[in-house]
Amino acid sequence: MPRALIDTTVLFAAAYRRDSSHETALPVIRGIDNGTLPGAVVLDYVLAETLNGLTTHAGHAAAVDLLDRIEENARFHIESLSTDAFATGKSLFRLHKPLSFVDACIVAYMQTEGLGYLYAFDDDFDAVDDIYRLDTATNPYDPS
């Protein structure tokens, strides 16, 4: 089954109605859920960042609701970095000033796992070779 990573910017925006990208994020989440988009890999770092943001802005109940929805949905896959990917993430963080540590870990995971597609609203990823950022509900594996 084809997969793409999903960034905090998309998860948070979909879950938080007041986010300016909420209406753009919802079709991405719905597409992953209904199978018109690839399955989503959610790094544990991304999950933590998203849940912390939701707790701050929308409350604990909203964060728990999102966690439950992700865990119960077979099309969302929570993954952790391998030791090698973590080392790569630290190196990327040191080399690429625009990337946050979590973003560097996303890139490292993508590079070590051979994944090229990322749903994200953060254009800092555009500076990294071999990362194809998707900011709409687009299926990169569908040739039509």
- Domain ranges for the chain, please list them: 3-134
pTM of the predicted protein model: 0.94
Looking at beta carbons, which pairs linking 59-65 to residues 24 or more positions away fall under 8 Å?
62/15, 62/16, 65/15
For residues 17 and 52, the answer to whether their CB atoms sit within 8 Å is: no
Residue-wise pLDDT tens digits, 7-20: 999 999 999 999 99
Q: What is the mean pLDDT of residues 53-64?
A: 97
Q: What percent of the chain has pLDDT over 70?
A: 99
- Tokens found for residue 44: 């544990």
pLDDT higher than threshold 90 for residue 129: no
For residues 124 and 111, the answer to whether their CB atoms sit within 8 Å is: no
For residues 79 and 109, the answer to whether their CB atoms sit within 8 Å is: yes
Superfamily of domain 3-134: 5'-nuclease (3.40.50.1010)
pLDDT higher than threshold 90 for residue 1: no
Higher pLDDT, 96 or 50: 50
Over its C-alpha atoms, the chain yields an Rg (Å, rounded) of 14
What integer pLDDT is reported at residue 27 of this predicted model? 98
What integer pLDDT is reported at residue 143 of this predicted model? 73
- Tokens found for residue 114: 């051979």
CA angle 91, 97, 103 (to 5 degrees): 65
